[in-house]
């Protein structure tokens, strides 16, 4: 084998090695992204479940003190009943938002009842649910960011070339409802 | 073609081949890091969940800080080297490999990283660092030292309990070397006068991460109680042999059986086990020898702050390396870290071109000799 042949073989080998490296790294990156998305979703699910478990205690604590606001409590109970961890993620997103809205309405009404607001048990529950709401918001943002990165990766080179081979498809976002993103009505 | 020119050309081609392959390998590592950082969403520290995470924030000192050897910078990580000018690698960036150094030191201590939502303690053992060079300079032709050089004259480790006034005074004061201080000065060649080190010119390099620097960290968030060896995990110096290494564990068990080890840290360390003792105000009265001046005890607020620094609840999440998830600490926000690694990958591709070009040149020279 002549030196020129060896040099040509070296050049081809190096280019092939770089191409294989890029493909293997891209494959591993997509696998890692899928794991991160699943983990991010599990982390949301944990907090949704905690909120689901905490709500009955809050409703029980305020029920006796807010006899005239049964419709607010009914909304919370209805929203809670819609929660199902086996639903598709977009549906869970919608129901989670419904529950958040019902809880926010409940807290707004609680503000109008000084005797409820000053109850230590209600205060503690309210604080805990607010903490969970904040965690859900943060983790939803994290999940959506992770899904965005995954979707961007499988639709750009070099991963785009191997995505059809492995059947990688875009993942859904944990989206807010349309009415939440609509421009608020203003009457100036 | 004269044979000595061919030999020289072949030698240069071989160097080009090696350098190109080294740049390519380094670029590939950079690409992997860029992918890892770029593909991970940044979590808020306040609502962090356990597992592999990426956080971004500002470094805050924990219990201790380091003093860097070449610029005396208060920091949580440094990597410093002193070597011959001719050993200086041509590719100089934040993580260039220091080659042929006479003095080389890399150290890190645990620190906190804070974002708008909270802070988390980082245990740096086993971490990979991407820190910016703050000093990359050589002695002049007349032996004059580079302007940024400010050799450390005291201990490498400092407490973090400085008041604002003391911190300002320390910042403004020029360090004065104790009369017996020689080690770094001798290594730096300054002890023998301006041209004292013979005709060798020295090259100084130092990379640091200091309190106030923005960093991006990838690692595993885990409860503090799950760390197998918190004391070992808090330092990254020299050997990576941890206390849970089977051989070390065997030695510890043997020593304990022979009665060489105390049962508790309080028994082993005495006053040093009191938070704040020796590096601030102790949180409780130490046992002093008769006639020693009594130490002022920390106020309730100071004691709470000290305890918070020294005592971490077992369920508190901390960041550390874990099998399969090495800790990566990169200077700057995630986009800056990714950009840096991608640049390194592009340089790596140029390295591949250099390697191929060198191989072709070598082949042509060898063919010329053969014919």
Closest residue of chain B to A145, computed from CA coordinates: B41
Please say if the pLDDT value at position B177 is more than 60.
Answer: no
Please say if the pLDDT value at position B170 is more than 50.
Answer: yes
Residue B18's pLDDT is what? 93
Task: Please tell me the distance in Å from A177's CA to the nearest CA on chain B.
Answer: 23
Q: How confident is the model at residue A14 (pLDDT cuts 50, 70, 90)?
A: very high
Residue B349's pLDDT is what? 94
Residue B28's pLDDT is what? 93
Q: How confident is the model at residue A31 (pLDDT cuts 50, 70, 90)?
A: very high
Residue A166 or A58, more confident: A166
Give B335's contacts in chain A (Cβ within 8 Å).
Answer: none
Task: Please tell me the distance in Å from A14's CA to the nearest CA on chain B.
Answer: 7
Give the bridge partners for B157, in sequence order. B66
Residue B95's pLDDT is what? 39
Please say if the pLDDT value at position A158 is more than 60.
Answer: yes
Of B28, B39, B47, the CB nearest to A134: B47
Provide mean pLDDT across the span B111-129: 89
Give B31's contacts in chain A (Cβ within 8 Å).
Answer: 21-22, 25
Closest residue of chain B to A31, computed from CA coordinates: B39
Give B185's contacts (C-beta < 8 A, 6+ positions apart): B151, B177, B191
Among the residues of B173-245, which ranges form H helices? 183-188, 230-233
Residue B17's pLDDT is what? 92
Give B366's contacts in chain A (Cβ within 8 Å).
Answer: 3
Provide mean pLDDT across the span A96-111: 80
Cα-based angle B25, B27, B33 (whole degrees, multiple of 5): 110
Give the bridge partners for B106, in sequence order. B79
Please say if the pLDDT value at position B124 is more than 90.
Answer: no
Give A126's contacts (C-beta < 8 A, 6+ positions apart): A58, A107, A110
Residue B167's pLDDT is what? 60
Domains and their CATH numbers in chain A:
16-35+47-175 (1.20.1440.20)
Provide mean pLDDT across the span B215-240: 74
Listed by number, the residues of chain A in 140-179 with a beta carbon closer than 8 Å to a beta carbon of chain B are 142, 145-146, 149-150, 153
Q: Are B151 and B258 in contact (CB under 8 A)?
A: no
State the Cα–Cα distance between residues A27 and A33, nearest whole angstrom. 10
Residue B93's pLDDT is what? 43
Q: How confident is the model at residue A66 (pLDDT cuts 50, 70, 90)?
A: low
Closest CA to A56 of A125, A147, A139: A125
pTM of the predicted model as reported, rounded to 2 decimal places: 0.69
Q: Are strands B111-115 and B214-223 parallel, antiparallel or unpaired?
A: unpaired
Mean pLDDT score across all residues of chain B: 78
**Sequence ranges of the domains in chain B:** 3-284+294-370
Q: Are strands B317-320 and B328-331 parallel, antiparallel or unpaired?
A: unpaired
Q: Are strands B74-75 and B128-130 parallel, antiparallel or unpaired?
A: unpaired
Give B356's contacts in chain A (Cβ within 8 Å).
Answer: 7, 10-11, 14
Give A3's contacts in chain B (Cβ within 8 Å).
Answer: 362-364, 366-367, 370
Of B32, B39, B355, the CB nearest to A33: B39
- Put simply, the answer to whether A14 touches B363 (Cβ < 8 Å) is no
Q: Which of A14-18, B9-13, B177-181, B199-203 has the highest mean pLDDT?
A: A14-18
Please say if the pLDDT value at position B19 is more than 90.
Answer: yes
Q: Is B58 exposed, middle or buried (0-12, 13-18, 19+ CB in 10 A)?
A: middle
> Buried b / exposed e across B328-347, counting CB within 10 Å, b at 16+?
bbbbbebeebbebbbebbeb
Q: A105-119, A168-182, B42-56: which has the minimum mean pLDDT?
A: A168-182
Residue A70 or B26, more confident: B26
Instruction: Please tell me the total number of residues recorded for chain A in this structure.
Output: 188
Q: How confident is the model at residue A34 (pLDDT cuts 50, 70, 90)?
A: very high
Asked if the C-beta of B352 comes within 8 angstroms of chain A's C-beta atoms, the answer is: yes
Q: What ipTM was estimated for this complex? A: 0.71
State the Cα–Cα distance between residues B56 and B43, nearest whole angstrom. 8
- 3-class state of residue B23 by DSSP: helix
Residue A65's pLDDT is what? 67
For B256-296, the pLDDT digits (tens) are 777 777 777 677 778 877 877 776 778 888 888 888 877 78
Residue B21's pLDDT is what? 94
Task: Please tell me the distance in Å from A29's CA to the nearest CA on chain B.
Answer: 7
DSSP annotation string for A124-148: HHHHHHHHHHHHHHHHHHHHHHHHH
Q: B160-164, B231-235, B249-253: which has the minimum mean pLDDT?
A: B160-164
Q: Which of A72-76, B78-82, B164-168 has the highest mean pLDDT?
A: B78-82
Give the percent of chain B with pLDDT over 90: 17
Asked if the C-beta of A39 comes within 8 angstroms of chain B's C-beta atoms, the answer is: yes
For B306-348, the pLDDT digits (tens) are 766 667 777 888 888 888 788 899 998 888 888 888 999 999 9
- Put simply, the answer to whether A149 touches B38 (Cβ < 8 Å) is yes
Mean pLDDT score across all residues of chain A: 80
Residue A80's pLDDT is what? 80
Give the percent of chain B with pLDDT over 70: 76
* Three-state helix/strand/coil letters over A45-64: HHHHHHHHHHHHHHHHHHHC
For B58-105, the pLDDT digits (tens) are 998 887 888 888 988 889 999 988 887 655 544 444 334 444 567 888
Please say if the pLDDT value at position B55 is more than 80.
Answer: yes
Listed by number, the residues of chain B in 21-60 with a beta carbon closer than 8 Å to a beta carbon of chain A are 24, 28, 31-32, 35-36, 38-44, 46-47, 49, 51-52
Please say if the pLDDT value at position B187 is more than 70.
Answer: no
Provide mean pLDDT across the span A111-133: 77
Give B52's contacts in chain A (Cβ within 8 Å).
Answer: 36, 39
Residue B359 or A181, more confident: B359
Q: A2-11, B51-60, B132-141, B288-297: which has the minimum mean pLDDT?
A: B288-297
């Amino acid at each position: 084998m002549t030196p020129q042949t060896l040099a040509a073989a070296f050049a081809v080998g190096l280019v092939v090695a770089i191409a294989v490296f890029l493909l293997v790294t891209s494959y591993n990156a997509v696998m890692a992204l899928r794991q991160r998305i699943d983990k991010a979703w599990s982390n949301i699910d944990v907090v949704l479940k905690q909120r689901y478990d905490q709500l009955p205690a809050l409703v029980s604590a305020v029920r006796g003190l807010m006899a005239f606001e049964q419709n607010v409590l009914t909304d919370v109970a209805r929203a809670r009943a819609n929660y199902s961890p086996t639903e598709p993620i977009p549906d869970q997103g919608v129901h989670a938002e419904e529950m958040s809205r019902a809880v926010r309405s409940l807290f707004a009404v609680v503000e109008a009842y000084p005797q409820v607001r000053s109850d230590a048990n209600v205060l503690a529950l309210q604080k805990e649910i607010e903490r969970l709401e904040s965690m859900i918001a943060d983790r939803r943002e994290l999940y959506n960011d992770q899904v965005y990165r995954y979707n961007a990766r499988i639709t750009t080179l070099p991963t785009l070339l191997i995505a059809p081979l492995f059947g990688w498809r875009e993942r859904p976002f944990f989206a807010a409802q349309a009415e939440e993103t609509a421009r608020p009505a203003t009457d100036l | 073609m004269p044979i000595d020119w061919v030999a020289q050309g072949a030698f240069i081609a071989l160097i080009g081949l090696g350098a190109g392959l080294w740049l390519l390998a380094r670029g590939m590592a950079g690409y992997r890091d860029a992918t890892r950082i770029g593909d991970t969403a940044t979590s808020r520290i306040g609502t962090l969940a356990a597992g592999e995470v990426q956080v971004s924030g500002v470094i805050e000192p924990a219990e201790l800080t380091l003093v860097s050897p070449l610029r005396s910078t208060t920091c949580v990580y440094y990597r410093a080297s002193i070597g011959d000018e001719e050993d200086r690698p041509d590719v100089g960036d934040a993580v260039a490999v220091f080659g042929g150094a006479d003095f080389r030191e890399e150290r890190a201590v645990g620190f906190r990283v804070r974002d708008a939502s909270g802070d988390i303690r980082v245990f740096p053992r086993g971490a990979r660092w991407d820190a910016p060079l703050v000093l990359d300079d050589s002695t002049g032709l007349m032996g004059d030292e580079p302007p940024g050089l400010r050799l450390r004259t005291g201990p490498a480790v400092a407490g973090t309990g400085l008041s604002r006034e003391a911190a300002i005074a320390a910042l403004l004061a020029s360090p004065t070397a104790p009369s017996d201080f020689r080690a770094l000065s001798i290594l730096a060649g300054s002890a023998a006068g301006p041209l004292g080190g013979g005709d060798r010119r020295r090259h100084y390099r130092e990379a640091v991460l200091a309190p106030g620097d923005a960093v991006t960290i990838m690692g595993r968030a885990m409860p503090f109680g799950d760390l197998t060896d918190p004391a070992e995990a808090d330092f990254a110096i020299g050997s990576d042999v941890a206390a849970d290494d089977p051989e070390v564990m065997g030695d510890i068990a043997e020593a304990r059986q022979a009665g060489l080890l105390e049962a508790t840290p309080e028994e082993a360390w005495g006053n040093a086990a009191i938070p704040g003792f020796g590096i601030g105000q102790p949180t409780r009265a130490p046992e002093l020898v008769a006639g020693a001046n009594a130490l002022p005890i920390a106020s309730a607020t100071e004691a709470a702050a000290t305890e918070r620094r020294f005592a971490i609840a077992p369920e508190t999440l901390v960041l550390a390396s874990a099998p399969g998830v090495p800790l990566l600490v990169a200077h700057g926000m995630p986009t800056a870290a990714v950009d840096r690694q991608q640049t390194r990958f592009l340089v790596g591709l140029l390295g591949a071109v250099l390697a191929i070009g060198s191989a072709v040149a070598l082949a042509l020279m060898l063919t010329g000799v053969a014919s």
